[in-house]
C-alpha cells in the first residue's frame, strides 16, 4: 500500500511535468495532456453559466480567457504539491520529522511539507532525516522555481500573441470601414481602378494571418480569449481573410490582373486561412453535416453581385462572364463556409454578428 501511494504520487508529478513541457516548451495544437481539455471544459462551463445567469453573454464569456490562465497555473501547482505529498506521506514520523515534538502523519501535514518545498520557502518545522528525502526536497524546490519562471514566460507569450491578433483584427476592421465586408476592403485598395499596390497590401495581410496561424498552433488557449467587441472575433478575422481571397479569385478580371490573381501573396492568404480554419474546426468544433441549401447559395450569389457592382463603381475591371464567376465563388465558398459557421457557433457568436452584410 505504501509503495502504491508513492507510485501514484510520482505518476501525478510526471503527468503535470509532461503537460507543462508540452504546453510551454513544446507548444503545438493538440499536444497538451491537461491544459487543452481544461480549456474546453472551462469554455463549456462558461457557456452554460452564460445561459443561466441573467447577464449579457459577451460580458461573461470575455472573462473566460484570463480565468483559464489562472486555472491552468493552479492545476499545475496543485498537482505537483499533491504528487510530492503522496510520495512523502508515508514517510512522516520516520524519514521526515517535526523539529518541535510529535510529528503529525496525516495527509494535510504532507501537503504542508510539500507546499513549503515547492514554493522554495523551505520545509517549515518539518525536516528530512535521510539523504533521499533531502535530495527530494531540493528536487521539488528546483521544480517549483522552474515552474514559476516558465509560467511567467508562458503568460507573457500568450498575451504578446493576443496583442498581435487583436492588432490584426483591428486593422481588418478599419480596412473594411467597420462593415466586416471583404468587398469594401478590395474596393478601397483598388479605388479608381488602380490595383498596382494591392499586392503589397495582400502580402501584409497574408503575413499577419500566417503569424496568427502559428500563434494559434503554439498557444491553443488563445482561442478562449473572447472579447465583447465583435471585430476582435477570430471568426471575423477568418471571414475577411477568406472572403477577400475568394473574391479576388472569382471577381477580378484574370487577364488584366493576372499578376495579382496568381500572386504568391494571394496563395499565401488563401492557403493560410484555409489551414487555420481546418485545424481549428477539426480539433475543437464538433463534427456535423454542412447545411448548405439553395437559399443560402442565393444569399452568396446576391453577395457576389453586390461585390462586383462595388468593384465596377470604383473602376476595377471584373470578370466578363458574371454567372461563371458567381458559380466559382459559390463553389469556393462551399469549401470554407461550413467550418467557419461551426467555429462561429462554438465561440458563442451569431452569424449575423460576424457577417452583418449578409443578413
Render pLDDT for 153-210 as a digit per residue (tens, 0 to 9): 999 999 999 999 999 999 999 999 999 999 999 988 876 666 767 888 899 999 999 9
Q: Is the predicted pLDDT of residue 290 greater than 60, yes or no? A: no
Q: Note the pLDDT of residue 55.
A: 62
Read off the pLDDT band of 294 (50, 70, 90).
confident
Band of the pLDDT at 292, cuts 50, 70, 90? low
Of the chain, the end-to-end C-alpha distance in Å amounts to 65
So what's the pLDDT on residue 29?
72
DSSP class per residue in 195-246: -TTHHHHHHHHHHHHHHHHHHHHH-GGGGG---SSGGG-HHHHHHHHHHHHH
**pLDDT over 90 (residue 257):** no
Check: pTM over 0.85? Answer yes or no. Answer: yes
Q: What mean pLDDT do residues 354-358 have?
A: 88
Q: Is the pLDDT of residue 289 over 60?
A: no
> How far is it, in rounded angstroms, from Cα 20 to Cα 204?
34
Give the whole-number percent of the chain exceeding pLDDT 90: 60
| Residues 22, 7 contacting (CB under 8 angstroms) | no
pLDDT of residue 8: 95
The average pLDDT across 124-151 equals: 89
Q: Would the pLDDT of 5 be above 80? A: yes
- Mean of per-residue pLDDT scores for the chain: 89
Q: Long-range contacts made by residues 172-181, C-beta under 8 angstroms, separation at least 24?
A: 172/205, 172/231, 172/236, 172/237, 172/240, 172/241, 173/231, 173/236, 176/240, 178/231, 179/356, 179/357, 180/230, 180/231, 180/236, 180/239, 180/240, 180/354, 180/355, 180/356, 180/357, 181/357
The reported pLDDT for the residue numbered 93 is 85
> Under a CB-based contact definition with an 8 Å cutoff, are residues 80 and 115 in contact?
no
pLDDT higher than 90, residue 303 = yes
Residue 291 is predicted with a pLDDT of 63
Taking 80 as the threshold, does the pLDDT of residue 254 lie above it?
yes
Amino acid at each position: 500500500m505504501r509503495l502504491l501511494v508513492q507510485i501514484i504520487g510520482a505518476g501525478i508529478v510526471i503527468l503535470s511535468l509532461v503537460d507543462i513541457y508540452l504546453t510551454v516548451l513544446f507548444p503545438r495544437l493538440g499536444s497538451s495532456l491537461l491544459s487543452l481539455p481544461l480549456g474546453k471544459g472551462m469554455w463549456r462551463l462558461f457557456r452554460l453559466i452564460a445561459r443561466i445567469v441573467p447577464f449579457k453573454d459577451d460580458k461573461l464569456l470575455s472573462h473566460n480567457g484570463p480565468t483559464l490562465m489562472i486555472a491552468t497555473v493552479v492545476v499545475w501547482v496543485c498537482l505537483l504539491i499533491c504528487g510530492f505529498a503522496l510520495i512523502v506521506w508515508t514517510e512522516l514520523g520516520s524519514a521526515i520529522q517535526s523539529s518541535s515534538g510529535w510529528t503529525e502523519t496525516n495527509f494535510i501535514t504532507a501537503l504542508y511539507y510539500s507546499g513549503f518545498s515547492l514554493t522554495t520557502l523551505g520545509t517549515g518545522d518539518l525536516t528530512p532525516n535521510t539523504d533521499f528525502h533531502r535530495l527530494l526536497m531540493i528536487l521539488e524546490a528546483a521544480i517549483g522555481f522552474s515552474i514559476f519562471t516558465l509560467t511567467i514566460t508562458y503568460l507573457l507569450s500568450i498575451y504578446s500573441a493576443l496583442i498581435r491578433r487583436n492588432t490584426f483584427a483591428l486593422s481588418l476592421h478599419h480596412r473594411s470601414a467597420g462593415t466586416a465586408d471583404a468587398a469594401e476592403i478590395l474596393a478601397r485598395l483598388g479605388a479608381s481602378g488602380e490595383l498596382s499596390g494591392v499586392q503589397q497590401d495582400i502580402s501584409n495581410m497574408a503575413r499577419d494571418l500566417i503569424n496568427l496561424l502559428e500563434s494559434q498552433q503554439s498557444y491553443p488557449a488563445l482561442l478562449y480569449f473572447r472579447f465583447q467587441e465583435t471585430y476582435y472575433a477570430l471568426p471575423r478575422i477568418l471571414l475577411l481573410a477568406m472572403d477577400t481571397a475568394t473574391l479576388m479569385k472569382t471577381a477580378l478580371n484574370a487577364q488584366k490582373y493576372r499578376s495579382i490573381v496568381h500572386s504568391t501573396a494571394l496563395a499565401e492568404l488563401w492557403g493560410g486561412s484555409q489551414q487555420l480554419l481546418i485545424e481549428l474546426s477539426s480539433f475543437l468544433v464538433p463534427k456535423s453535416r454542412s447545411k448548405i441549401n439553395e437559399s443560402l447559395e442565393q444569399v452568396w450569389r446576391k453577395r457576389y453581385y453586390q461585390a462586383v457592382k462595388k468593384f465596377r463603381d470604383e473602376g476595377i475591371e471584373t470578370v466578363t462572364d458574371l454567372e461563371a464567376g458567381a458559380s466559382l465563388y459559390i463553389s469556393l465558398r462551399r469549401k470554407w463556409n461550413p467550418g467557419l459557421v461551426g467555429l462561429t457557433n462554438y465561440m458563442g457568436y451569431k452569424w449575423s454578428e460576424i457577417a452583418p452584410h449578409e443578413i
